[in-house]
Chains A and B, each alone.
Chain A
């Protein structure tokens, strides 16, 4: 038996854990004690992160569709088919008719290679990944305001905070190991403000819990800032020295009518004032936010408002302050960093910047498309524009809103290839399915939510005939006439470092420590960066933006009287492909449900545990009712992990016009008893 240090495959906390290997099987997990986040413990998912690797349903060999049925085939035939079909589409309709979805579950190296394959070989910028569904507004909004879209500070700084404001993040369930630092701060006397429509685990520890109506974040944020302005709680010298456009913003705020706050958001001015004073009055305050802020048609507005709030009070640019967008997937930060985005190459270098394009063209020795490509939402919700797709390790069928629409777009494609570890709902409609290696079967790096670049290490060989995604991409590139010659992911990272300034000093030999490296790390001697914007924002001066309220796209009406919001549970991960195959996690939460307040349930005559039909303008789902205290009236909550009760059959695909994120956090539904 031996032990291999790797990084947890679930969330972006990025815990370090050891896999214990015996006879090429993983037989146990030990959390690292020296790791800055795991500190000797994991959450229930991390402790159980191994069973799916050897699960019997792992894809064993490539599958190819003939006459509507899937058949086993060899690698050569499958790869040949994928490359020929994609090249055919490129020739017939042009590169812009090909769409590529990269994966926040895959390594940095794999994301980099796939975006290179897309841009250099298939000549398309239609490359995206699931960050579209989670933090695209953060990448955009925080870049606009600060010059960098990443979490400004490090996770461990939370333990020293005086005030922590958590909004739209169910931290104990979705980032349990980050929640540990919040508890540490509380033990030291920190004040906790939770702003969330639902009563979440954290709100039980909160000094103030404010419950806005779904989709009214800009209102309470502007209200809070107006109060701070009126009360003179702003940080004048910070604003003067470090920011721009504040005079405009001040004018905008002074016109803001505080009277509308309670009417629209449901939060009383008195409570909001208390929260404002606690946040603005602290020396060291941190804002944590997540999907509750971003998954709205006003996602970017919400993020920019949060940035305004942090700048106005001087709670950024220093240690133990800042804005913490908690990223979801283990490598969603890295997938963004690597340029799996329609408008950006690796390191957020814009495709429409001629100097950038020139640099990459010369490095890759080929011409590159200059116009920004389509987002995943546009690829999957607009039938006809995209003819062929390659999807690596994403289960968009379950994760994107409006499932019927996604299915129609996928089925309408001339060709779809999927690389994954299981036959996911997305793979089920593919023409070719390539069996990929799981996290424990390959080498690479992943970047956690605090910009920490860490190694994923191969503990066992890939099961059956599966291959690591980076090898699959290399094989495809070769067959498409663009040889990629990399011996190992380390060699890919050497190229990334050369072309990506924020990763400039990232080399594998430097990652052989327990703490990895936090970007920006511009050169080999740079120690990495624990917090951003020290002494000056990445963009120079922080930018205040005047943000007007934009209501949700779809609100309850007579026909659909309930507001449905979606999210996750502690025991499961996203579309459940891994966690629902892990015995303990499956047992802890075996099936889907919809949460409803006891009062609403009573009015409809629904009892706890009873099956109910949930109907939205886009579809219907049958699941069990779970009566819970702490939901606002006429509001329902559903997790999206369960294929038998897919919440995303109901959700709305209206998007934020800037970030193109769909409004997964609110749609209108009605409930019916199943008789």
Chain B
């Protein structure tokens, strides 16, 4: 790591940086580091970008970037090494080429995502590709004064401000940033240009405290993660919910691609010729069928419903069990993009709102729903109820056996009955 030039005068971990000095400070950073920050481009999108010169781009500290900066630690398509085969056997060439970097303006959710990656990529076999990049990167977190539309980091206990894990954390206090130093290399970075900073006063500390409190009061969504995890542990999620989620998932993989903590990858060799090639790894998603398909074609998670179930169990329950925190940082990006509403926000709401007892009395209501949707006629219903009296079978089963409806239509109607949002009343043939 680059050493800071000269010994700075930073007597405290709480400092003030006036906004008018921000660009000057960032410009200094670019002299020794690759600076990465959120940039709003001319098309109106905000992305994390490498900033060659702070004066040429508009650093955007209002809008959160479309994706977290995870691609700077694990690119979507990454060359691990190049290989060559000749008479003497295989030779390998490392392709890693890391420069010291500073990521400025990450939000707490994204920083927490990276902290989660730290756990994953150090566990067991240490992932040198990730760790090299991580070691050379300083994180400057920007707490959120104004949570976004789908944000729920407070519920996920990963924001809107962090108490640990950052190298430096900023809080916007209007004309100035409240600066907190979290780790020694953060201090080292600031020490190089200590003249931009002054120690925070008690008034600044109070103002920061207020900003945090205010922000925490601004969340539109409050989710009960513990209750959701409890439901999963006790298998209390109605199977009809999984079925319905499976029905709505269109298998784009977007939820995993935008997730700051999803780390699954695929590795394969890409030969350039018979003698040379590269080993690549790419982002993967557990909701893809090929992710769990075995040689020979058998897939233990053949249905989308099973894969989605596994995804939520993994993120909420298994990771909580293993790492003591669920692997959701509450950034809400999946909720921003999933048109099927198979995102964390909708899911936790759905299962927490689900009533403990199965919604009774099912007979009449299922029949009514099917009738209302025009799936069955009054005659069908009457005759099913009549037969039911003799057979004692549930109404749905009775109707299917009579050949009046198929299972999918029943599943759709059950979805309505359970108030799963977006369930279309379903008619076929």
Residues 173-229 (chain A) with a chain B CB within 8 angstroms: 176, 179-180, 183-184, 186-187, 192, 199, 201, 203-209, 211
Q: Which residues in B have their C-beta under 8 angstroms from that of A570?
A: 251
Contact call B72/A1, Cβ cutoff below 8 A:
yes
* Contact, CB under 8 Å: B75 / A27: yes
Contacts of B250 in A (CB 8 A): 43, 172, 176, 179-180, 201
Interchain CB contact under 8 A, B427 and A208: yes
Residue of A nearest to B412 (CB): A204
For A29, A33, A588, the residue with the greatest tally of chain B CB atoms inside 10 Å of its CB is A33
Tell me, rounded to whole Å, the shortest Cβ–Cβ distance linking A512 to chain B.
7
Alpha-carbon gap, A2 to B36, bound state (A): 10
Is B404 an interface position by the 8 A CB rule?
no
On whether the beta carbons of B270 and A183 are closer than 8 Å, the reply is no
Within 8 A of B (CB), among A547-594: 570, 583-584, 587-588, 590
Chain B residues packing against A (C-beta within 8 Å): 41-47, 49-50, 66-67, 71-72, 75-79, 247-248, 250-254, 257-258, 266, 268, 270-273, 277, 280, 282, 284, 288-290, 297, 336-340, 373-374, 408, 412, 421-422, 424-429
A-B contact pairs, 14 of them (CB 8 A): A1-B72, A5-B41, A20-B71, A30-B66, A30-B67, A31-B66, A31-B337, A33-B336, A35-B43, A47-B253, A186-B424, A205-B426, A584-B282, A590-B290
The 7 closest A-B CB pairs, nearest first, are A28-B76, A587-B290, A41-B337, A514-B43, A34-B44, A27-B75, A180-B339
Contact for A584 among B42, B45, B254, B288, CB less than 8 A: B288
Across the interface, do B43 and A3 meet the contact criterion of CB distance under 8 Å? no
Which residue from A1, A41, A203 sits with its C-beta under 8 Å from B50? A1
Contacting pair B43 A183 (CB below 8 A): no
Residues in B whose Cβ lies below 8 Å from that of A41: 252, 254, 258, 337-339
Q: Nearest B residue to A184 by beta-carbon distance?
A: B339
Which of A47, A206, A274 counts the most chain B CB atoms within 10 A?
Answer: A47
Interchain CB contact under 8 A, B290 and A209: no
- A28, B427: Cβ atoms closer than 8 Å: no
| Interface residue stretch chosen among A49-57, A145-153, A345-353 | A49-57
Bound Cα distance from A28 to B429, whole angstroms: 43
CB atoms of B253 and A206 under 8 A apart:
no
A22 CB within 8 Å of chain B: yes
> Does A478 lie at the interface of the complex (its beta carbon under 8 Å from any beta carbon of B)?
no
Q: B76 and A29: CB pair below 8 A?
A: yes
Supplied contacts A1-B50, A44-B253, 14 more A-B pairs, CB within 8 Å: A20-B75, A27-B71, A56-B270, A172-B250, A180-B339, A183-B422, A187-B421, A204-B408, A204-B412, A207-B426, A208-B427, A209-B429, A583-B280, A584-B282
Given known contacts A27-B75, A27-B76, A584-B266, A513 and B337 CB-to-CB distance under 8 angstroms: no
* Contact status A587-B424, CB under 8 Å: no
A300 contacts partner chain B, Cβ-Cβ < 8 Å: no
A623 contacts the other chain (CB 8 A): no
Interface string of A264-290 (1 = CB under 8 A from B): 000000000010000000000000000
Answer whether residue A32 sits at the interface, using C-beta atoms and an 8 A cutoff. yes
A204 to B253, CA, bound (A): 21
The residues in A between 128 and 178 inclusive whose CB is less than 8 angstroms from any CB of B are: 172, 176
Whole-angstrom distance between the alpha carbons of A176 and B248 in the complex?
A: 12
Contacting pair B429 A44 (CB below 8 A): no
Q: Report the minimum CB–CB distance from A462 to chain B (whole Å).
A: 17
The verdict on A26 contacting chain B, using a C-beta distance below 8 Å, is yes
With a cutoff of 8 Å between Cβ atoms, the chain A residues found around residue B429 in the complex are: 209, 211
Q: A42-B254, A176-B252, A584-B284 are in contact. Are A207 and B424 (CB under 8 A)?
A: yes
A602 part of interface (Cβ distance < 8 Å) = no
**Minimum distance in angstroms from B304 CB to a CB of chain A:** 10
CB-based nearest B residue for A22: B75
Contact partner of A205 (CB less than 8 A), chosen from B271, B273, B374, B424, is B424
Bound complex: CA A668 to CA B289 (Å)? 32
Q: Chain A interface mostly helix, strand, loop or mixed?
A: mixed
Q: How far is the CA of A577 from the CA of B412 in the complex (A)?
A: 38
**A609 and B297 in contact (CB under 8 A), knowing A28-B71, A34-B43, A34-B44?**
yes
B77 and A26 form a contact (CB under 8 A)? yes
Query: With the chains together, A248 CA to B337 CA distance in Å?
Result: 49
Measured CA separation A40–B79 after assembly (Å): 26
CA distance A35 to B41 in the complex (A): 13
Closest CB in chain B relative to A47 CB, distance in Å? 6
B-chain residues with CB within 8 Å of residue A252 when the two chains form the complex: none
Q: A44-B253, A209-B427 are in contact. Are A183 and B47 (CB under 8 A)?
A: no
Task: For B253, list chain A residues within 8 Å (CB).
Answer: 44, 47, 584
The answer to whether B45 and A207 have CB atoms under 8 Å apart is: no
Q: Which residue of B lies closest to A210 (CB)?
A: B429
Chain A hits for B426, CB < 8 A: 204-207
> Which B residue's beta carbon lies closest to that of A570?
B251
Which residues of chain A (12-26) have a CB below 8 Å from chain B? Answer: 16, 18, 20, 22, 25-26
- The answer to whether B270 touches A55, judged by C-beta atoms less than 8 angstroms apart, is yes
Interface residues of A, count at CB 8 A: 61
A34 engages B45 (CB within 8 Å): yes
The residue from A1, A47, A207 contacting B252, defined by CB atoms under 8 A apart: A47
Q: Which of B44, B49, B288, B297 contacts A2 (CB 8 A)?
A: B49
Hey, which chain A residues are within 8 Å of B78, CB to CB? 27
Is A91 part of the contact surface with B, judged by Cβ < 8 Å? no
Q: Which residues of B contact A18 (CB under 8 A)?
A: 45, 47
Within the complex, the shortest CB–CB distance from A633 to chain B, in Å, comes to 13
* Cβ contact of A43, chosen from B248, B252, B297, cutoff 8 A: B252
Residues of A within 8 A of B247 (CB): 204
B contact residues around A183 at 8 Å (CB): 248, 339-340, 422
A336 to B72, CA, bound (A): 41
Contact of B289 among A33, A274, A588 (CB under 8 A): A588
Set of chain A residues within 8 Å of B248, measured between Cβ atoms:
183
A30 to B46 alpha-carbon distance, docked (Å)? 11
CB-based contact B266/A47 at 8 Å: no
Instruction: Give the distance in Å from the alpha carbon of A172 to the alpha carbon of B304 in the complex.
Output: 15
Q: Does A39 contact B (CB under 8 A)?
A: yes
Residues A605-653 near B (CB distance < 8 A): 609
* Partner of A209 from B79, B268, B425, B428 at Cβ < 8 Å: B428
Selected from B288, B336, B374, B422, the residue in CB contact (under 8 A) with A187 is B422
Inter-subunit contact B50/A186 (CB<8 Å)? no
Q: For residue A549, give the distance in angstroms from its CB to the closest CB of chain B.
A: 23
The docked-state distance in angstroms from the alpha carbon of A20 to that of B78 is 12
B154 to chain A, nearest CB (A): 23
Compute how far the CA of A658 lies from the CA of B257 in the bound complex, rounded to whole angstroms. Answer: 46
Asked if B425 and A207 sit within 8 Å, CB to CB, the answer is: yes
Is B427 a contact of A587 with CB atoms below 8 Å? Answer: no
Nearest residue (CB) in A for B52 is: A2
Task: For B76, list chain A residues within 8 Å (CB).
Answer: 20, 27-29, 50
Residues in A whose Cβ lies below 8 Å from that of B44 = 34, 514
A44 to B257, CA, bound (A): 10
CA distance A207 to B41 in the complex (A): 43
Q: Are A39 and B337 in contact (CB under 8 A)?
A: yes
Separation of A288 and B247 alpha carbons in the complex (Å): 22
CB distance B428 to A203 under 8 Å?
yes
Q: CB distance B424 to A33 under 8 Å?
A: no
What are the residues of chain B within 8 A of A583 when measuring CB–CB?
266, 268, 280, 282
Name the residue on B nearest A514 (C-beta): B43
Chain B neighbourhood of A26, CB < 8 A: 77
Residue on A nearest B272 in the bound complex, by CB: A56
**Which of B45, B75, B282 has the largest count of A CB atoms less than 10 A from its CB?**
B45
Provide the residues of chain B in CB contact with A204, threshold 8 Å.
247, 408, 412, 426, 428
| Residue contact B43 to A5, C-beta cutoff 8 Å | yes
Contacts of A5 in B (CB 8 A): 41, 43, 45
Are A192 and B71 also in contact (CB < 8 A) when A26-B77, A184-B339 are? no
Give the residue of A2, A20, A33, A209 whose beta carbon is less than 8 angstroms from that of B45: A33
Closest beta carbon of chain B to A197's beta carbon, Å: 12
Measured CA separation A183–B428 after assembly (Å): 17
Give the CA-CA distance A211 to B43 in the complex, in Å.
44
- What distance in Å separates the Cβ of A185 from its nearest Cβ neighbour in chain B? 11
Question: Are A40 and B336 CB-contacts (below 8 A) given A2-B49, A207-B424, A584-B290?
Answer: yes
